[in-house]
Amino acid sequence: MEFSIKNTGPEKMRVDCLIVGIYEDQTLTALADTVNTLSQSAVSAALKSGDCDGKLGSHMLMRDVSGIHANRVLVLGLGKQASLNAKGLRTAVRAAIKALPKGVTSIATDMPALVTNDDLQANVLALVDVSLDATYQFDAAKEKKAERHPLKHIVLMLAKADEAAAEAGLKQGLALGKGVAYAKDLGNLPPNICTPTYLGKQAEKLAKAYDFKTEVLDERDIEKLNMGSFLGVTRGSDEPPRFIVMQHLKGKKSQKPIVLVGKGITFDTGGISLKPGADMDEMKYDMCGAASVMGVFKALGELDLPLNVIGLIPTCENMPSGRATKPGDVLTSMSGLTIEVLNTDAEGRLILCDALTYAERFEPSAVIDIATLTGACVIALGAHPSGLFANNDTLAKALLEAGEQAHDRAWQMPLWEEYHSQLESNFADLANIGGRAAGSITAACFLSRFAKKFDWAHLDIAGTAWKSGKEKGGTGRPVPLLLTYLINQVA
């Protein structure tokens, strides 16, 4: 999709549809008022029909409006003028795109300038982000491809003085959109295509496209690193594991890197602790932590951010077989800590803990792991925020603020010492589960045992990485949160 910024009146705008706003009290926005004047009050007359009451997301389509070149005018409800915020803008943009009739390939609007938050750059970014998300399609595995969404061009009608901020928002929005779409694509691929080997090859392609360093370690390399916990998960699968190391080193040499660690279980049966059959197909999304890291790296490449960022992705399948790790087995992690495996379906933490130990060699300023880790987090928080755990309050606050900015929110959960007792084992240094109570917290406590040498945060995205049901598919979260956090580190 193409975006452009123009400083011109609606009478000169040659697009298929012009989108103008109306508030709940029937007040017209400046653009709507201009169209109304040019059309000799056609907008006011149409509104008397009651087809658009001004409530957020309501809309009314007008055709052949006199005085303008646009073929159609979509009157869009914006709610109360005083309370139109960035969230409302996102709702309005999504509603507008959904309401477009077939055949509309180009639209023009001034919506980013209507939000009363004095942050045009963020508003433009939001419009671009939502527009790309609303028109996203995935049909890679279908013989008959879906008809492409017809919308190809969005014109932002903004004042000349706003062009610099709008261009900055446009650049960031396009980069974010590409990163989110890439993460969605990886998650939506079937697990017989998106294997650990496939993820490794995709990482190499990213590195070539954006000129950063990538190393893909195979099973022999992983064995040399003594990643016994990671290897314990891979035993049951015929698909070989991979450990992907990506390095975007565009900051100063003295700048300590930020490390992102993404869980890459390309399919999770639960192993010997086999999951129920219902909805097991959705376990192809158990690599969405890895997908989000790769999506962030695509966006980093697009923006060429002057930061040092490392991406670590342990990736494998979790399958049952005669070779698979059994409940009661004891694994030795890369750190030397031994782990009693009480449930083989708590495998994400077993691959992440070795990746966290590996992260130590980079002497990072911060480490953030991202994982579809626990069903318990879905029970606790639902599908709205990701669960956030951290051993450093400053890091936690920065991530929470980035989530608010990006409308990709997280909620901080406790990481108290009292919970660690649930992980005690009679036969190893710790167990890999702590029972049903506080399952997402004890999972984070487990990971924290391997993150004592750096500032660390853990994002549990089990409830936010994909949608089930009719709209089943990857969401691309938390790419927006992570990219915003990284951009803030430059600022």
Q: Which residues are catalytic?
A: 275, 349
Q: What is the 3-state secondary structure (H, E, C) of the chain?
A: CEEEEECCCHHHCCCCEEEEEECCCCCECHHHHHHHHHCCCHHHHHHCCCCCCCCCCCEEEEECCCCCCCCEEEEEECCCHHHCCHHHHHHHHHHHHHHCCCCCCEEEECHHHHCCCCCHHHHHHHHHHHHHHHCCCCCCCCCCCCCCCCCCEEEEECCHHHHHHHHHHHHHHHHHHHHHHHHHHHHHCCCCCCCHHHHHHHHHHHHHHHCCEEEEECHHHHHHCCCHHHHHHHCCCCCCCEEEEEEEECCCCCCCCEEEEECEEEEECCCCCCCCCCCHHHHHHHHHHHHHHHHHHHHHHHHCCCCEEEEEEEEEEECCCCCCCCCCCEEECCCCCEEECCCCCCCHHHHHHHHHHHHHHHCCCEEEEEECCCHHHHHHHCCCCEEEEECCHHHHHHHHHHHHHHCCCEEECCCCHHHHHHHCCCCCCEECCCCCCCHHHHHHHHHHCCCCCCCEEEEECCCCCEECHHHCEECCCCHHHHHHHHHHHHC
Cα 149 to the center of its chain, rounded Å: 22
What number of other Cβ atoms are within 10 A of residue 319's Cβ?
22
Q: List Cβ neighbours of 220 (8 Å cut-off, separation of 6 or more).
A: none
Q: Is the dihedral of CA 325, 326, 327, 328 positive or negative?
A: negative
Core vs surface per residue 25-64: b (16+ CB within 10 A) or e: eeebbebbebbbbbbeebbbebbeeeebebebbbbbbbee
Query: Distance between CA atoms of 141 and 224, rounded to whole angstroms?
Result: 37
